[in-house]
Amino acid sequence: MTLQTIDTKPYEGQKPGTSGLRKKVKVFQQPHYLANFVQSIFNALGGMTGKTLVVGGDGRYYNREAIQIILKMAAANGVSRVLVGRNGLLSTPAASAVIRKYRTTGGIVLSASHNPGGPDEDFGIKYNIGNGGPAPEKITDAIFAETKTISNYNILDWPDIDLATLGDKLVGDMAVDVIDPVADYQELMQTLFDFRAIRSLFASGFRLRFDAMSAATGPYARAILEGALGAPAGTVVNGEPLEDFGHHHPDPNPVHAKALFDLMYGPDAPDMGAASDGDGDRNIVLGKALYVAPSDSLAALAANAHLAPGYRTGLKGIARSMPTSGAADRVAAKLGIPAFETPTGWKFFGNLLDADMATICGEESAGTGSNHVREKDGLWAVLLWLNIIAARGQNIPAIMREHWQTYGRNYYSRHDYEVLDTTLANDLMAALRGKLSSLVGQNFRGETVAGADDFAYTDPVDGSVSSGQGLRIVFESGSRIVIRLSGTGTEGATLRVYLERYEPAGGNLGMETQEALATMIALADELAEITSRTGRSEPSVVS
């Protein structure tokens, strides 16, 4: 065993984005690239002597190689113990659960979420803190600063360890415990949901299709849905995690989960359809011929959460990211609890959850979760839906219809323009930012602008300020347009346009979403000059 100190030079651009550092695999495979970032994490944490870590990832290409490097570096930096998922696998919510249960110092999660995998595709790495959640900006900024000055890193000369068998191993003096990636997570789910009621639901013939998209959730969904809950074999499809996700994007949206959408809108639709993403933190839910917009799913889950044992005593508050629709705010108002509006990215929910100010959180980007972990959690949302369906004895379309009749409906859609030239996208944003204040009071297509700004957030717990979080234009009617650039893409820039229109209870609640939003769609194009600046007449993805 030799401890090696390897000389290195900084790489440019190792700045963590919305959710860690995401780059092409080929970028990560450059000499010392991954090691530089890992050592920068360790340096930013003030050294690792005696600390403990969880390490795992979504199983994508380069996951296992990266884990072997991280283990040897952790050992060389003085880490005392690491928990690793078998075969290097841990869904993001399971990693969060394991960090919390075993009270480790933190964890390193390897994932590029819903981005494609494979030798020419994406890889990612992020650090989670001891509460199980993504490191806050204070820490990611410190990591980035370290990447800019790094001159060497520590690594142990030690053979790769066997990640395929469970149990205790050694890397130098460091203990490595290869754990079952599902067990701790499943145990947690059993404390939150009425498994007996869900078992009876399946026993009575309720049909679910869960598409794991050949990604991390497969083993979890099989063990919990088909195992513990008795759903028929075949309920989980694409349940085997593959390094390249079977050449698909593991992104549960209408484009990449097309087979599921086709099934749910077809003649033999089961009662419920669901899918999760590469690392298992996202979810979508569909009823027969009804896609539940994630913003609506958040609202419906919050309104009905008390039906699940883990939330029987009620919610402390509901938090949503700023671009997420205001549907959840209406539920919070009715429940008499606070509603929080945070910037995009799960890390902004951490303080609210830790302070017990919010219990349920969500993002329009297919993310919902609660205080049980500090990440969004795809399978959790599916289980909560199942629990609610079982308790109410109603199917999803009926539950959503009643929800809208109670709260009104926030028609909502996101239009993404992917792989834009970065300069062009920045120019578009700058131009719109520059004219925001002049829009207020003006009328466009019958809609008067009530307010327009670049969203800034002051964390109510620690007072930290995050600015430049998205341009929003709010109309007197309550309709809204939000425009921001993605912070997770690895190729060019992605422009996200979020469109919302509120229809009160008693109004027209059954419209087709894009039709309901037609005025907002036209206005977004007009105000942000999308077509003229990008040359694109259509978004790449509508969700």
Minimum distance of Zn ion from residue 98's CB (angstroms): 17
Rounded Cα distance, 324 and 349, in Å: 14
Contact between 375 and 306 under an 8 Å Cβ cutoff? The reply is: no
Minimum distance of ligand G1P from residue 496's CB (angstroms): 6
Residue 122 is a binding residue for Zn ion (CB under 5 A): no
Q: Is 122 exposed, middle or buried (0-12, 13-18, 19+ CB in 10 A)?
A: buried
Closest to ligand G1P by CB, 403 vs 414, is: 414
Residue 128 is a binding residue for ligand G1P (CB under 6 A): no
Closest to ligand G1P by CB, 223 vs 497, is: 497
Closest to Zn ion by CB, 57 vs 273, is: 57
Minimum distance of ligand G1P from residue 261's CB (angstroms): 20
Q: Which residue number places its CB atom closest to Zn ion?
A: 113
Residue 113 is a binding residue for Zn ion (CB under 5 A): yes
Among 277, 364, 416, 459, binds Zn ion (CB under 5 A): 277
Residue 365 is a binding residue for ligand G1P (CB under 6 A): yes
Rounded Cα distance, 443 and 503, in Å: 20
Rounded Cα distance, 482 and 476, in Å: 15
Q: What is the 3-state secondary structure (H, E, C) of 192-230?
A: HCCHHHHHHHHHCCCCEEEECCCCCHHHHHHHHHHHHCC
Is 113 one of the catalytic residues?
Answer: yes
Among 18, 43, 370, 387, binds ligand G1P (CB under 6 A): 18
Residue 113 is a binding residue for ligand G1P (CB under 6 A): yes
Q: Please identify, among the stretches 148-156, 200-208, 363-371, 400-408, the one whose residues bind ligand G1P according to the rule CB under 6 A.
A: 363-371
| 429: its two tokens | 């944003």
Contact between 124 and 19 under an 8 Å Cβ cutoff? The reply is: yes
Residue 363 is a binding residue for ligand G1P (CB under 6 A): yes
Instruction: Give the strand pairing for 208-211 and 272-276.
Output: parallel
Sheet architecture: strand order including 290-292:
236-237, 208-211, 272-276, 283-287, 290-292
Catalytic option among 19, 113, 214, 276 = 113
Q: Which of residues 319-338 bind ligand G1P (CB under 6 A)?
A: 321
Closest to ligand G1P by CB, 59 vs 250, is: 250
Among 107, 310, 317, 345, binds ligand G1P (CB under 6 A): 345
Minimum distance of Zn ion from residue 479's CB (angstroms): 29
Q: For residue 402, how far is the Cα from the chain centroid?
A: 28
Residues binding ligand G1P: number (CB under 6 A): 14
Rounded Cα distance, 345 and 172, in Å: 37
Q: Tokens 């033999």, residue?
A: 268
Rounded Cα distance, 147 and 182, in Å: 34
Among 14, 19, 91, 147, binds ligand G1P (CB under 6 A): 19
Q: DSSP secondary structure string, 259-323?
A: HHHHHHTSTT--SEEEEE-TTS-BEEEEETTEEE-HHHHHHHHHHHGGGSGGGTT--S-EEEETT
Residue 18 touches which of Zn ion, ligand G1P, none (CB < 5 to 8 A by kind)?
A: ligand G1P
Q: Which of residues 473-492 bind ligand G1P (CB under 6 A)?
A: 486-488
Residue 279 touches which of ligand G1P, Zn ion, none (CB < 5 to 8 A by kind)?
A: Zn ion
Closest to ligand G1P by CB, 288 vs 433, is: 433
Rounded Cα distance, 529 and 53, in Å: 47
Closest to Zn ion by CB, 57 vs 287, is: 57
Residue 488 touches which of Zn ion, ligand G1P, none (CB < 5 to 8 A by kind)?
A: ligand G1P
Residue 419 φ/ψ, nearest 5 degrees: 45, 50
Residues that bind Zn ion (CB under 5 A): 113, 277, 279, 281-282
Residues that bind ligand G1P (CB under 6 A): 18-19, 113, 321, 344-346, 363, 365, 367, 486-488, 496
Catalytic residues: 113
